[in-house]
Amino acid sequence: MIARISDSTSSPLRQEINLSEATMAASISMVCGIVFGKRYEEGGAETKRFLQITRGLSVLTSSFFVSDYFPAFGLVDEISGRVKRADAMCKGMDEFYQELIDEHLESRREKEMKEEEDMLGVLIKLKEDDSSSNGLTWNNIKALLMVN
């Protein structure tokens, strides 16, 4: 982020920089590095996908669902398309986290990464640990990743 800002201010073309986006991208890269074990490049396809999912989830959780207040009127949410959008958002998020889990499992099979390199690695190790009776499922792991 700092290099990009420095480059844009020192170049003769002097491009505008959206500091909100640059800060968000740097934060995402840092958090994803800690939690998922991989950093996303600013402006990259995976960063955009992650941003789209998190922004969509934020909009979804802050939107008004009639059925939350009047359960008998749940049909209104169906007709307005909110339920369909919520289902699509949840499916997209589930696929994203499943891809991360699959990448970790594949890397561990190929011995490319340490077992406990990041939070996801620790959770996978807990899940696969036979001596532990923690009852951790893949859905539990995805939920923990989503909270972080």
Checking 45-50 for CB contacts under 8 A at 24+ apart, the result is 49/96, 50/96
**What is the identity of the amino acid at 74?**
G
Burial group, residue 108, by CB count within 10 angstroms (0-12, 13-18, 19+): middle
What percent of the chain lies above the pLDDT cut of 70? 80
Domain ranges across the chain: 43-147
What is the reported pLDDT for 48?
Answer: 80
Decide which of 133 and 106 is more confident: 106
Task: Quote the pLDDT of residue 75.
Answer: 93
pLDDT band at 14 (very low <50, low <70, confident <90, very high): low
Give the pLDDT band of residue 130 (cuts 50, 70, 90): low
In this prediction, residues 1-20 reach a mean pLDDT of 69
* Closest of 99, 96, 97, 93 to residue 57, by C-alpha: 93
Range in 35-44, 102-111, 117-126 with the lowest mean pLDDT: 35-44
Q: Answer yes or no: is pLDDT of 2 > 60.
A: yes
pLDDT, average across residues 135-147:
86
Mean pLDDT confidence for 89-104 = 90
CA dihedral 90, 92, 93, 97 (to 10 degrees): 140
**Average pLDDT of the residues of the chain:** 81
Which pLDDT does position 22 carry in this prediction?
A: 76
* pLDDT above 70 (res 12): no
